[in-house]
Structure 1
Amino acid sequence: MAKFLILYRSPRTAREQMANTDSAAAAAGMDAWNAWGERAAAALVDMGSPVQSVAGPGGGDPIGGFSIMQGGSLGEVQGLLEGHPHTESGGTIEVLEFLAMPGVQSTEG
């Protein structure tokens, strides 16, 4: 199985989004994320967390969070990301595949 790092990008940082969202909207957003998590559960290695971008190269929206997923192919994972609540709210998703490091033995079973 291939493993993928899912990066959630948005024009506003995660901290700004959380600070400027009322409690009803925040609860509805978490309900949508939890529903997606249930749908993608078999592929989720780590649901992830919001993150605060503190520094980095210019260009592109800041990374506001991440998840780690696994699947038989990139297409399989991309299919599970269709209709994701992050993109439904105007954000973008970047998918990066983990590569094996030559000469490093895997600790996964």
Structure 2
Amino acid sequence: MTKRYVVLYRAPRSVAERFAQATPEEAQQGLTLWHDWAARLGPALVDVGRPLGAKVDVTPDGVVDSGSDVIGMSLIEAESMDAALALVRDHHHLHWAEDCSITLIEEAPIPELQG
């Protein structure tokens, strides 16, 4: 059975700032890497995702502005966590800066109401 995984791309703010100031040629190179990765994954890539912006945390006491190192997300499908890891293990995001990383989160099913 195929499972879905949220892919979170983590990087220091300096990486996001560097991308914001990229030349058109540098931006095109980055887009080419994304398109190549998407083509390799084929139907396993449910949603290529997008960059993420500002983040706030909502607590019972209110809203707390808490910057985040999560700069983007994607959604993939795989048979297992190991198979999902194989899809992102050599992702180009991991080579942008020393502190770049990827977090995989498996979607859990919503329990059905008994009644």
Same fold (TM over 0.5): yes
Residues 47-104 of structure 1, C-alpha deviations (whole Å, 9 max, x = no match): 0011103324899951111000011111111111122111121221000000011116
What is the Cα-based RMSD across aligned positions, in Å?
2.4
Q: Which runs of 5+ in 2 are unaligned?
A: 58-63
Q: Partner of 1:47 in structure 2? A: 48
Determine the C-alpha separation between the residues in 2 that align with 1:62 and 1:20.
Answer: 18
Task: Please say which structure displays the higher CA radius of gyration.
Answer: 2
Counterpart AA for 1:45: V
1:2–1:98 CA contact under 8 A, matched in 2: yes
- Give me the identity figure in percent: 27
Q: Aligned-pair distance for 1:24?
A: 1.3
Normalising by structure 1, report the TM-score.
0.82
Matched length: 104
For residue 73 of structure 2, the aligned residue among 56, 66, 71 is 66
Normalising by structure 2, report the TM-score.
0.78
For residue 94 of structure 1, the aligned residue among 99, 103, 106 is 103
> Helix, strand or coil for the counterpart of 2:56?
coil
Residues 4-23 of structure 1, C-alpha deviations (whole Å, 9 max, x = no match): 00000110277524322111
Higher strand share: 2
Q: Which of 12-21 and 44-53 deviates more?
A: 12-21
